[in-house]
Amino acid sequence: MTEVKERVTLITGATGGIAQELIKLVPETDHLILVGRSKTKLEDLYGQLGHATLVALDITDDEAVAELVDSVYDKFGRIDILVNNAGYAIYKEAEAFAMAEIRDMFNVNTLASINFCRLVAGRMKQSGSGHIINIVSMSGYVATAKSSIYSATKYAMIGYSDTLRLEMAEHGVYVTTINPGPVSTGFFDLADPDGSYQKSVKAFTLSPEVVAQRIYRIFGQNKRNLNMPCILSATHKFYTLFPRLSDWFARNLFNLK
């Protein structure tokens, strides 16, 4: 991809912990389009940034997302980097989920990101450059109890990203999935309100600063995926090679939720 000195970077879920650290690394020569649910929180976090446009948006509103993408292209003529970061989890037994909860999680974690990709990828293809970064999860590779819906949304996003990467490869457009394990952010406020899961996985919990630094380093680079930490990346390989044994470990030793 041709290097662009002044990039236009759009980040969803911009008020999340990983995004906050990532935005600190982006130089002022880039223009940031920062998308979040709360205008107040966006302004509190980024109101002082002269190189940022703050957009309060329901990313599950298809028409609003299309209007946003159109407006960015009308104003800047391009999006160089798209970071789909928005997402959340609820952990509980599979039969305990209401269908409304399932739809909501798929709408935010999967369909909204696919919609942004759909609207941006074709334009990147026409321009012959661009980088789509989908922040997914190791849960999209390795199943664990009580994460049935969250894992399903992430498995789907990995499958979509892998296919999109193939379609875009000949057109100078890169597609990368970022698959972190547990990250010490506000993500767990909803996913793990009593903090018990965070305590059980503390040994391999990542800091948002480290995750953001690794993501920023691959901006504009032809990187297929980024799995972290190393121990969970190795777990994924073990899971692929020895699925039945991995299921036993997941049921008996790693059922930490």
CATH of the domain at 229: 3.40.50.720
Q: Which of 12-26, 61-75, 191-205 has the lowest mean pLDDT?
A: 191-205
Predicted local distance difference test score (pLDDT) of residue 256: 55
pLDDT band at 206 (very low <50, low <70, confident <90, very high): confident
List, for residues 102-113, the tens digit of each pLDDT value: 999 999 999 999
Q: Residue 71: is its pLDDT beyond 60?
A: yes
- From the candidates 46, 141, 150, 174, give the one annotated as an active-site residue: 150
Spatial neighbors of 147 by CB under 8 A, at least 6 apart, are 89, 91, 139, 257
Predicted local distance difference test score (pLDDT) of residue 1: 42
List, for residues 148-182, the tens digit of each pLDDT value: 999 999 999 999 999 999 999 999 999 999 998 87
Mean pLDDT over the full length of the chain: 87
Written as six digits, the tokens of 38 are 């709360």
Domain membership of residue 97 (yes or no) is yes
Q: Which of 184, 185, 176 is nearest to 217 (CA)?
A: 176
For 126-156, give the secondary structure using H, E and C.
HHCCEEEEEECCHHHCCCCCCCHHHHHHHHH
Domain membership of residue 2 (yes or no) is no
Domain membership of residue 152 (yes or no) is yes
Work out the average pLDDT over 8-32. Answer: 96
Domain membership of residue 1 (yes or no) is no
Amino acid at 239: Y
Q: Residue 17: is its pLDDT beyond 50?
A: yes
Work out the average pLDDT over 74-92. Answer: 95
Strands 130-135 and 173-180: parallel
Q: Residue 40: is its pLDDT beyond 60?
A: yes
Domain membership of residue 72 (yes or no) is yes
Q: Residue 255: is its pLDDT beyond 60?
A: no
List, for residues 100-149, the tens digit of each pLDDT value: 999 999 999 999 999 999 999 999 999 999 999 999 998 878 777 788 99
Question: CA-to-CA distance for 109 and 115, rounded, in angstroms?
Answer: 11
Question: CA-to-CA distance for 222 and 232, rounded, in angstroms?
Answer: 22
Question: CA-to-CA distance for 191 and 239, rounded, in angstroms?
Answer: 24
Q: Which of 8-22, 38-52, 133-147 has the lowest mean pLDDT?
A: 133-147
Q: Residue 248: is its pLDDT beyond 70?
A: no
Using an 8 Å Cβ cutoff, are 139 and 191 in contact?
no
User: For the chain, how far is it from start to end, CA to CA, in angstroms?
Assistant: 42
Does the annotation mark 150 as catalytic? yes
Q: Which of 218, 220, 187, 177 is nearest to 18 (CA)?
A: 187
9 DSSP β-pair partners:
32, 81
Long-range Cβ contact pairs of 50-55 (< 8 A, separation 24 or more) = 52/23
Measured in whole angstroms, the distance separating CA 69 from the mean position of its chain's CA atoms is 18
DSSP state of 207: P
Domain membership of residue 3 (yes or no) is no
Predicted local distance difference test score (pLDDT) of residue 228: 83
Could you list the residue range(s) of the whole structural domain that residue 234 is in? 8-252
Domain membership of residue 69 (yes or no) is yes
Predicted local distance difference test score (pLDDT) of residue 3: 44
**How many domains does the structure of the chain reveal?**
1
Q: Residue 195: is its pLDDT beyond 70?
A: no
Predicted local distance difference test score (pLDDT) of residue 127: 96
Q: Residue 253: is its pLDDT beyond 70?
A: no
Radius of gyration, CA atoms only, the chain: 18
Domain membership of residue 137 (yes or no) is yes
